Amino acid sequence: MIYMADTADIKALKELYDFFPLEGVTTNPTILKQSGMKLSVAIDEVSKIVGDGMMHVQVMSSTSDEIVKEAKKYKTYFDLGDNFYAKIPVFPEGFKAMRILKDAGIKVTATAIFTQQQALVAAKAGADFVAPYVSRLDNISSHGIEVVRDIARNMDEYKLDTKVLAASFKTVDQIYRVSMNGSHSATISPDLLMQLIKHPMTDISIAQFEKDGADLYDIEF
């Protein structure tokens, strides 16, 4: 499982990167708005923390030509090299841009996915990652986990190199279930990433270890 942080919160990212085995960060216009930073500042600050990890930056353009120009500009402007992924929503001009960018050697993350077919078309267009929205599907009485499962199954059955990047979570249970249904990766908010590794029985166990071993560990270091 590839874990990524879905945020531009610099304080939270610094804390997470201090211990959590993250492999990248994903951003979008909504995340930038929440951070209160402009794109030029946010991506620059985030990339300093991410280092050699992946940076997924969403485009805003609506035509394929402009999407391509925008993606190429971000890759050079932020000097991200092969760590840069252009996040492109799945709509006709987006699919067209995906193929052009892949031919140009730029990696692509297809986003705003709500169906198995959207993901499959994006994969065929060359997307490196496809990002289905789990909670947003659940919110409209659909089945986010099942959609992730079907997409992951397609990637395997058709021997496609595209990875499933499950997104949009409200609970740790959703993350557990996508990991058990074939998702290769997940992008998760800082709050849920912290909850992911917590359990009250772990806290109790650690407290017991400290109590039992207090007078037994006699080797100085």
Active site residues: 87
Q: What is the DSSP string of 72-93?
A: HHHHHHTT-GGGEEEEEESSHH
Instruction: Give the distance from CA 113 to its chain's centroid.
Output: 13
Residue 6 β-bridge partners: 26
The long-range contacts involving 102-107, CB below 8 angstroms and separated by at least 24 positions, are: 102/126, 104/68, 104/72, 106/71, 106/72, 106/75, 107/82
Residue 47 β-bridge partners: none
